[in-house]
Chain A
């Protein structure tokens, strides 16, 4: 068996792949948080719960409507995004004039409610969701077997992240968005409907979380608490990357996933905490985050 640094390559590349997959989720989720934060100035604590809802919508679609994975990939972000829009219109909207911390507290409360309701209904054990038939099996790359579904998750996440980056940084719509982030009052004076833009942005960010949830459903089981601990790691990712740049969120997300995967190989005891340690180091060296700026 071939080894690298005394570690079998099979295990090394296996963990690297898992790291990339976790990194995909970190990237999509921190991207959504960054987009929402940019315009709403709210840290969306409900993000983890909305990720979980995405996975559950996929599960419901299959159980109740017989609609499979590909439909879920389309419908779940729309449904969860729509619920997000309702939450924004009815609750979040009242808080914009107040201190930002109230937004954090409100979304934390909403996360507790959503997770509690799902746990009441479905317990804490996971529900299985199978890989779509087109993506079962794997490719033998010689040094490892690459499961098709996992390759798909990484590739698709990259496309979603880069697509989002393109829309925000390179299109007219994105330029409105960036302008409203800088100075909402002025953009409004130019006749752009900023409140509607804020609502849609929240829906979009939440939809991204739900999309990540659908992608995660076949890998991890569908579980009411699947987003609860994940969101804390994503917060750390956001602190490390800083929320100033879209590309920064994407790069940081993937990189930290890989680092976490490698830690699992070389020093498994620290794999749960490595991201938090990196966060502490980044705070010492560059408090604004790797890609962030003080505001």
Chain B
């Protein structure tokens, strides 16, 4: 499935081009300076969603798989992180790890089922399985149904960093995001990433060259699910809350929107998309259902006229892959 045929494909080089160092530097500088001017909680939300969108983009942008059920990983990791921190008294690093591992295991199960079909079937299957996770979260006692898990203690990271301080929490979230981002960047540019792209462009040919396409797809899926879980666990710590919102299908739609708006298959696109969408939601929050309408309009406009996305268009103008 070559959904990114129109978008900018990265050159198959192992050394990072200089302009990508520059772009990464700009992004990092922005996130280091921003909390001194913008409300940190808003930025932390944006960072969590940016990581989530980057993880999602690994799948759609480089393996050509459109998952419409990524909320399952974000949400379930959030629940397990919140539960283990609040009820079992885990320290934050262990709690987030628990959530991330949960998402990873769930990724193996859902991924193994979903990769049995391709294209739109893949999207429908992930959506349906994620809906199953939603109903489970609605009914299971430990998630507290509509209330969610509230007042999750942030605790002290590694016994050293007091996460109750907003700025400490912010830089920990930034570190987690950068770690996840670099891992994804490394994955895309590794031989593994090249094989993924080969499968995306022409699966039968990749198979005929001896690559076990299903294994590659599953590994990419699990990696994407795990990193989404990392984002979900971190988000639960930031907001001290795990709720049904994060497992609902609207959340799966939101991450698609962020990635589409930023640019499918671009390295920095999902981050830009997440920033814009989170800012938009913040701004439109009082308007109720208008948020949904605006999201829908962005979807329609992006698909009809803006398929490269923000960063994709920027890359086209600069003639450099971003």
- Chain A positions within 8 Å of B, measured between CB atoms, are 43, 91, 94-95, 98-102, 104-106, 108-117, 119-120, 229, 232-233, 235-236, 238-239, 269, 272-273, 275-277, 279-280, 283-284, 287-288
Could you say which of B5, B121, B292 contacts A115, with CB atoms under 8 Å apart? B292
User: Is there an interface contact between B292 and A287, defined as CB atoms closer than 8 Å?
Assistant: no
Contact B299 A112 (CB under 8 A): yes
Chain B contacts with A in 249-295, Cβ cutoff 8 A = 249, 253, 256, 260, 288-293, 295
**Contact in complex: B113, A110 (CB < 8 Å):** no
Select A283's contact among B116, B299, B303, beta carbons within 8 Å.
B116
Question: From residue B232, how far is it (CB to closest CB) to chain A in Å?
Answer: 20
The answer to whether A277 and B132 have CB atoms under 8 Å apart is yes
The reply to whether A43 and B296 form a contact with Cβ atoms under 8 Å apart is no
Chain A residues whose CB sits within 8 angstroms of the CB of B260 once the complex forms: 105
Q: How many pairs, one residue from A and one from B, have CB atoms within 8 Å of each other in the complex? A: 126
Shortest Cβ distance from A29 into chain B, in angstroms? 13
Whether A109 pairs with B131 at a CB distance below 8 angstroms is: no
Contact yes or no, A232 B249, CB < 8 A:
yes
Chain B residue with minimal CB distance to A41? B120
User: Can you name the residue of chain B whose Cβ is closest to the Cβ of A287?
Assistant: B116
Q: Contact at B297–A283, with CB atoms within 8 Å? A: no
For residue B300, which residue of chain A has the nearest CB? A109
B281 to chain A, nearest CB (A): 13
Contact present for A110 and B66 (CB under 8 Å): no
| Interchain CA distance A102-B66 in the complex, whole Å | 10
Using known A-B contacts A239-B125, A280-B129, determine if residue A116 contacts B113 with beta carbons closer than 8 Å. Answer: no
CA distance A117 to B296 in the complex (A): 10
Contact of A112 with B293 at beta-carbon distance under 8 Å, contacts A101-B3, A106-B303, A284-B113 already known: yes
5 other A-B residue contacts (CB within 8 Å) besides A116-B296, A232-B249, A287-B116:
A43-B123, A108-B256, A109-B299, A120-B289, A283-B116
State whether A101 touches B304 (Cβ < 8 A).
no
Q: A101-B123, A104-B66, A273-B132 are in contact. Are A109 and B303 (CB under 8 A)?
A: yes
- Which B residues are in CB contact (< 8 Å) with A111? 296
Whole-angstrom distance between the alpha carbons of A104 and B297 in the complex?
14
Is B1 located at the chain interface by the 8 A CB criterion?
yes
Is there a chain A Cβ closer than 8 Å to B127's Cβ?
yes
Give the docked Cα–Cα distance between A113 and B298 (Å): 10
Contact with A along B119-143 (1 / 0, CB 8 A): 1110111011101100110110000
Q: A116, B292: Cβ atoms under 8 Å?
A: yes
A272–B135 contact, CB under 8 A? yes
- B: number of interface residues (CB 8 Å): 44
- Is B45 an interface position by the 8 A CB rule? no
User: Which chain B residues lie closer than 8 Å to A108 at the CB level?
Assistant: 253, 256, 299
Given the complex of chains A and B, what is the CA–CA distance between A229 and B127 in angstroms? 11
Alpha-carbon gap, A279 to B295, bound state (A) = 30
Residue of A nearest to B125 (CB): A239
- Let me know if A100 and B300 touch, CB within 8 A: no
Rounded to whole angstroms, the CA-CA distance of A43 and B122 in the bound complex is 12
Are A287 and B117 within 8 A (Cβ)? yes
Q: A116-B290, A117-B293 are in contact. Are A99 and B1 (CB under 8 A)?
A: yes
A106 contacts across to B, CB distance below 8 A:
299-300, 303-304
B309 CB to closest chain A CB (Å) equals: 12
CB closest residue in chain B, given A238: B124
The answer to whether B300 touches A113 (Cβ under 8 A) is: yes
Contacting pair B292 A119 (CB below 8 A) = yes
Q: How far is the CB of B135 from chain A (nearest CB, A)?
A: 4
Flag if A100 contacts B120 (CB, 8 Å).
yes
Bound Cα distance A268, B1 (Å): 39
* A120 and B132 contact, Cβ closer than 8 Å, known pairs A101-B3, A102-B3, A239-B117: no
Task: Give Cα A212 to B300, complex, Å.
Answer: 26
**What is the CB-to-nearest-CB distance from B120 to chain A, in angstroms, rounded to a whole number?**
5
Asked whether, in the complex, the Cβ of B296 is within 8 Å of the Cβ of A235, the reply is: no
Q: Are B292 and A112 in contact (CB under 8 A)?
A: yes
Q: How far is the CA of A239 from the CA of B293 in the complex (A)?
A: 29
The yes or no answer to B307 lying at the interface (CB within 8 A) is yes
Is the CB of B157 closer than 8 A to any CB of chain A? no
With CB as the reference atom, state the residue of chain B lying closest to A280.
B113
Residues in B with CB closer than 8 Å to A94 are: 304
Contact A120 B290 (CB under 8 A): yes
Q: Does B206 count as interface, using CB distance less than 8 angstroms?
A: no
From residue B129, how far is it (CB to closest CB) to chain A in Å?
Answer: 6
Q: B129 touching A110 by the CB < 8 A rule?
A: no
Q: Check: B2 CB closer than 8 A to any chain A CB.
A: yes
* Contact assessment for B2 and A99 in the assembled complex, using a CB-CB cutoff below 8 Å: yes
User: Nearest Cβ distance between residue A245 and chain B, in whole angstroms?
Assistant: 15
Asked if A43 contacts B120 (CB within 8 A), the reply is yes
A to B CB contacts below 8 Å, 6 in the list: A101-B1, A105-B299, A112-B293, A113-B300, A239-B124, A277-B132
State in angstroms the CA–CA spacing of A112 and B253 once bound together.
10
CA distance A235 to B66 in the complex (A): 15
Q: Choose among B66, B131, B298 the residue that contacts A232 (Cβ–Cβ < 8 A).
A: B131
Listed from nearest, the 5 A-B pairs whose CB atoms lie closest are A109-B299, A112-B296, A113-B296, A116-B292, A116-B293
Contacts of A95 in B (CB 8 A): 303-304
Interface-central residue, B123, B138, B302, by most chain A CB under 10 Å: B123
Pair B289/A119 contact, Cβ less than 8 Å: yes
**Closest CB-CB distance, B43 to chain A, in whole Å?**
26
